[in-house]
Amino acid sequence: MTTAATPPTPAPPFGRALCAMITPFTDVGSLDLDGAQHLADLLVGEGCDGLVLSGTTGESPTTTDAEKSDLIRAVREAVGDRASVVAGVGTFDTRHTVELALAAEKAGADGLLVVSPYYSRPPQDAVEAHFRDIADATGLPLVLYDIPGRTGTRVEPQTLIRLAEHPRIVAVKDCSYDFLAAQKVLARTELAYYAGCDEHNLALYAVGGAGYISTVANVIPRHLRSVLDTFDAGDTAASARLQQRATPLIELMMAAGLPGAVTAKALLHALGLPAGPVRTPLRPAGREAVEQLLAAHQDFMSR
């Protein structure tokens, strides 16, 4: 008896290993496009399949519309076709989000990261309509960004399942901390699920996720990619060890009381890489926090 061949798993729409890239600023707080190009080139050279710009880590609430477009153009020029460029365009205003989506498409983005509307806390039918309006307005594929801890509004599993029917809604960045819900949506849709919390990178990948959109990849991109590569090679035990090796740094960067944009920029600056200050209302990491971050990174590199 012959057995039918298993169809190949579709490639993730933007690659597997994506970095939620910081937005470099100059010492006086203006957009540092040269620094952004240098960092983007470095991240792609170190194994990132894609770069997500103007997300949470990219300090999107404090950059202007023009800065967002300028950043896309600069990074696109730096990486060419070596990596996907996904532009964060989500706001609490549907009309403004559509404007940003169209501008990102014109600037050369490959896809759009669209967070659920924040502050106004719309009900699920309004959340769904918001995403559909944006998907209808542009020719680019969308990554829906579910991060209720910041927005105050969950994108419920049934909403995601319905939205998956739209041809341009192709992926989810999952920061819901609801692992069961993620598996339910994975089982019922073809959405590409990207871990948005670094501690979930391997766990979500192991149950069918597409990969990650990682803040910690700003500082250890090659290592985080190796977690996925080793899993794909069939050595799941080694993959787990690699994930565990990164855990102390992940915890210090993402769960020690400071936002990821602050910790990533502090560590990049300490390592001599483009970063610059954060924009208010965020404040830079203090000396003790920087010393802890640098020590954790040095300890990680020495293992």
Give me the mean pLDDT over the 82-97 stretch.
Answer: 97
pTM comes to 0.95
Segment 92-110, tens digit of pLDDT: 999 999 999 999 999 999 9
Give me the mean pLDDT over the 206-221 stretch.
Answer: 98
Active-site residue, 68 included? no
Round the average pLDDT of the chain to a whole number and report it. Answer: 96
* Chain Cα centroid distance, residue 141: 15
Q: What angle do CA 45, 197, 156 make, to 5 degrees?
A: 125
State percent of the chain over pLDDT 70: 97
Segment 253-263, tens digit of pLDDT: 999 999 999 99
Segment 137-188, tens digit of pLDDT: 999 999 999 999 999 999 999 999 999 999 999 999 999 999 999 999 999 9
Tally of CB atoms within 10 A around 215: 27
Q: What is the pLDDT of residue 8?
A: 52
Question: Burial code of 37-58, b = ≥16 C-beta within 10 A, e = fewer?
Answer: bebbbebbebbbbbbbbbbbbb
Task: Assess whether pLDDT exceeds 70 at residue 6.
Answer: no
Place of tokens 């106004």: 120
Active-site residue, 173 included? yes
Q: Which CATH architecture has domain 17-235?
A: Alpha-Beta Barrel (3.20)
Q: Under a CB-based contact definition with an 8 Å cutoff, are residues 110 and 82 in contact?
A: no
Query: Two tokens at 176?
Result: 């819901």
Distances (CA, A) of 81 to 51, 52, 214, 215: 12, 15, 20, 22
pLDDT band at 29 (very low <50, low <70, confident <90, very high): very high
Of 68, 173, 193, 265, which one is the catalytic site residue? 173
Q: Under a CB-based contact definition with an 8 Å cutoff, are residues 210 and 193 in contact?
A: yes
Tally of CB atoms within 10 A around 108: 15
Residue 299 CB partners (closer than 8 Å, separation 6+): 248
Spatial separation of the C-alpha atoms in residues 242 and 226, rounded to whole Å? 8
Of 106, 118, 119, 145, which one is the catalytic site residue? 145
Segment 180-208, tens digit of pLDDT: 999 999 999 999 999 999 999 999 999 99
Q: What is the pLDDT of residue 9?
A: 61
Domain range list for the chain: 17-235
Name residue 260's amino acid: G
Backbone angles phi, psi at 300, to 5 degrees: -60, -45
Question: Burial code of 221-241, b = ≥16 C-beta within 10 A, e = fewer?
Answer: bebbbbbbbbbeeeeeeebbe
Spatial separation of the C-alpha atoms in residues 1 and 55, rounded to whole Å? 52
Task: Assess whether pLDDT exceeds 70 at residue 7.
Answer: no
pLDDT band at 303 (very low <50, low <70, confident <90, very high): confident
Give me the mean pLDDT over the 1-15 stretch.
Answer: 64
Place of tokens 């991060």: 147
